[in-house]
């Protein structure tokens, strides 16, 4: 009788913890997915793109093409030197690359050395583009891991010459990138080399920079706003023109992700706690019955000299014990479920779902507190039992 | 040893109240063995409960071993009960999921004794009631007489100044009753003060003094020639 009741009430708590564990594991997986989706670029990145003016301004008509050049990048460095961490230009090209008999099409990014840090590029061997390449406009490239695989098959690419649209470039490095296969099929070359060979001008397609990581979120946003305003002035673009100069600050994105993360975590906590409260109420209810059942025993103990405190501790201990055991059963089952389901969940944007040790420790503490709360009122009630009432023979 | 003075006690019953004890005066010396007699409703159990600190008097004084028992907090009452009193009940009131030894050792636990000491003392008292070999049996494996003897061992364990027995033989047959009374008499012979509520005349005659209650007052208080229970055993 007593055992069935303990089991049933314990089940509520076990279920609460089971639910919480599974939700938490899935939530974690979801957050892991977000994290990996954005590791490609440094979190403090700002991308600056140009386009056609959409509004007439300063006596100039709409529809004017805005073109960045090297001097614009230098101007940003001079104007905002203390706020800029890394800065690079980008020129996009599409090439057909050949090495011996292998041939394939790739995207080329012509960049500055800082690009390595902006894109979180890992150089596997060889080196990245350096300042001397920029100055001397050397014909060197750094190729992605998969480009090497495609063209050089099993051999090493370093030191060999690769043909891009008929011009020979020396491979000086091979890199990998967490951003995925697409990122590892890229070829990097010095921006100045590309400018000389493919146009003999100073044109830049895009400017990327990272702001000083010491800047907090608000300072980062105000920096990018200031940058936008000054760039628009520099190119005589209306401040209301949203198309001519576009500045994208990842701080905005990471804030959105941060809020989403917070939202998901709060939701999980609310659901978990809600169910836990239901479990606590169930256990509390059962403890009232247990106290009723043990009224006589409590009376005997009091007649023998049990203090109210010792009666409270008997009931509290029982309540905490039931809660913790039930909770652990839920935790173990929940972790098993998450562990088993994790691999098949990758398809649904849930990556490496799992529960950390800190959560297990946290859950244990929460369970002990929950058990104590569940037992408190019944225990208080038990301690107020009058031995004379309890011992009355019925 | 025990002195009560003009004790009054009423219980509310609906709108009116029932006056159960109407000014009881009683004093008991160390080493006495007193039977409190009376028909049901005479107030004998209420008197025992007040003496046992399970209930509190509305009026009057109660002094136990020179300690005035008044305005007790729950905690203090617990300490006094543990230190001064041993209870023997009609229905034994053993804790049924604890074995005989654990039941006997329980008052010692509330005295804060170490486990080893509790077991040692518990076994000593079980031996005294002749149940050492039954130490690890649960109450439901014992006969009525054995249960009451475990209960007596428990009452003795804390070495109380006063033993209070509420119809100690009420649930036992005549033969077992005499065995238990024989044992209680031997405790009294050793010097224990014993106060017992009973409605059986022959049991009362085995005490040294009989206090008769009727309608909440003492109508008779006499010393009697003790009938030894051993002659029936």
ipTM score for this prediction: 0.90
Give residue B127's pLDDT: 94
Q: Do A302 and B158 touch (CB under 8 A)?
A: no
Please write the tens of the pLDDT for every residue from B216-226. 999 999 999 99
The lowest-confidence range among A260-264, A328-332, B201-205 is A260-264
Contact list, A388 vs chain B (CB under 8 Å): 49, 54-55
Per-domain residue ranges of chain B: 2-232
The lowest-confidence range among A262-276, B79-93, B165-179 is A262-276
Phi, psi at residue A113, to the nearest 5°?
-55, -35
Chain B: nearest CA to A308, how far in angstroms? 6
The helix/strand/coil state of A172 is strand
Per-domain residue ranges of chain A: 2-37+255-390, 45-251
Task: Tell me which fold the domain B2-232 belongs to.
Answer: Rossmann fold (3.40.50)
Query: Is B140 within 8 Å of B109 (Cβ atoms)?
Result: no
Contact list, B111 vs chain A (CB under 8 Å): 305
- Cα B4 to Cα B28, B57, B59: the distances in Å are 9, 10, 11
Rounded Cα–Cα distance for residues A52 and B192 (Å):
110
Please write the tens of the pLDDT for every residue from A212-226. 878 877 888 888 888
Considering chain A, what is the average pLDDT of its residues? 83
What is the CA A98 to chain-centroid distance, rounded? 38
Residue A94 C-beta-side C-alpha neighbours within 13 Å: 2
The count of other CB atoms within 10 Å of the CB of residue B10 is 16
Q: Do A305 and B55 touch (CB under 8 A)?
A: no
Contact list, A307 vs chain B (CB under 8 Å): 74-75, 78-79, 110
User: Which is higher by pLDDT, B169 or A286?
Assistant: B169
Query: Token pair of A343, please?
Result: 């691999």
Query: Token pair of A61, please?
Result: 């008509």
Query: Is B59 within 8 Å of B52 (Cβ atoms)?
Result: no
Q: Which residue in A305, A222, A183 sits closest to B78, CA to CA?
A: A305
Query: Is A94 within 8 Å of A207 (Cβ atoms)?
Result: no
- Residue environment code for A288-308, b if the CB has 16+ CB neighbours within 10 A, otherwise e: bebbeebbbbbbbbbbbbbbb
The residue-averaged pLDDT of A5-10 equals 74
């Amino acid at each position: 009788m007593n055992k069935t009741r303990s089991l049933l009430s314990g089940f509520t708590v076990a279920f609460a913890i089971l639910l919480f564990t599974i939700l938490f594991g899935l939530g974690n997986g979801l957050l892991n997915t977000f994290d990996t989706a954005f590791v490609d670029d440094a979190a403090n990145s700002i991308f600056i793109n140009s386009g056609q003016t959409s509004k007439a301004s300063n006596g100039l008509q709409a529809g004017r093409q805005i073109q960045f050049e090297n001097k614009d990048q230098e101007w940003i460095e001079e104007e905002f030197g203390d706020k800029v961490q890394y800065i690079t230009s980008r020129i996009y090209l599409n090439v057909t690359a050949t090495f011996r008999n292998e041939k394939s099409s790739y995207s080329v990014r012509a960049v500055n050395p800082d690009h390595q840090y902006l894109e979180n590029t890992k150089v596997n061997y060889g080196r990245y583009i350096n300042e001397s390449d920029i100055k001397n406009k050397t014909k060197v490239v750094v190729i992605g891991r998969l480009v090497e695989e495609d063209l050089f098959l099993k051999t090493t690419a370093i030191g060999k010459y690769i043909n891009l649209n008929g011009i020979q470039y020396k491979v000086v490095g091979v890199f990998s990138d967490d951003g995925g296969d697409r990122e590892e099929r890229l070829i990097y070359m010095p921006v100045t080399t590309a400018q000389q060979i493919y146009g003999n001008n100073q044109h830049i397609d895009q400017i990327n920079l990272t702001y000083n990581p010491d800047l907090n979120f608000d300072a980062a946003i105000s920096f990018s706003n200031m940058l936008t305003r000054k760039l628009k002035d520099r190119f005589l673009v209306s401040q209301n023109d949203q198309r001519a100069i576009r500045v994208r600050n990842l701080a905005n994105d990471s804030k959105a992700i941060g809020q989403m993360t917070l939202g998901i975590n709060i939701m999980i906590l609310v659901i978990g706690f809600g169910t836990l409260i239901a479990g606590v109420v169930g256990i509390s209810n059962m403890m009232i019955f247990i106290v009723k059942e043990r009224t006589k025993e409590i009376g005997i103990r009091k007649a023998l000299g049990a203090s109210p405190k010792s009666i409270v501790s008997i009931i509290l201990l029982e309540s905490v014990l039931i809660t913790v055991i039930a909770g652990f059963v839920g935790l173990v089952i929940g972790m098993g479920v998450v562990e088993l389901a994790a691999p098949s969940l990758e398809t649904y944007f849930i990556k490496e779902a799992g529960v950390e040790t800190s959560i297990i420790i946290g859950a244990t503490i929460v369970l002990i507190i929950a058990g104590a709360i569940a037992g408190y009122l019944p225990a208080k009630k038990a301690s107020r039992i009058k031995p004379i009432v309890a011992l009355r023979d019925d | 040893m025990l002195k009560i003075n003009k004790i009054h006690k009423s219980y509310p019953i609906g709108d009116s109240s029932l006056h159960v004890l109407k000014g009881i005066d009683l004093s008991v010396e160390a080493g006495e063995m007193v039977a409190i007699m009376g028909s049901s409703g005479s107030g004998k159990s209420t008197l025992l409960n007040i003496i046992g600190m399970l209930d509190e008097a509305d009026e009057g004084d109660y002094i136990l071993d020179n300690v005035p028992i008044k305005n007790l907090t729950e905690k203090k009452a617990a300490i006094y009960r543990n230190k001064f009193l041993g209870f023997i009940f009609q229905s034994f009131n053993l804790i049924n999921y604890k074995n005989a030894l654990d039941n006997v050792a329980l008052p010692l636990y509330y005295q804060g004794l170490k486990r080893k000491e509790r077991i040692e003392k518990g076994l000593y008292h079980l031996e005294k009631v002749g149940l050492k070999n039954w130490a690890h049996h649960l109450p439901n494996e014992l006969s009525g007489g054995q249960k009451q003897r475990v209960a007596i061992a428990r009452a003795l364990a804390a070495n109380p100044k006063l033993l209070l027995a509420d119809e100690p033989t009420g649930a036992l047959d005549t033969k077992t009753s005499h065995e238990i009374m024989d044992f209680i008499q031997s405790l009294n012979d050793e010097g224990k003060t014993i106060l017992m509520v009973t409605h059986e005349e022959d049991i009362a005659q085995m005490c040294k003094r009989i206090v008769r209650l009727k309608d909440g007052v003492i109508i008779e208080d006499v010393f009697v020639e003790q009938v030894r229970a051993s002659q029936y055993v």
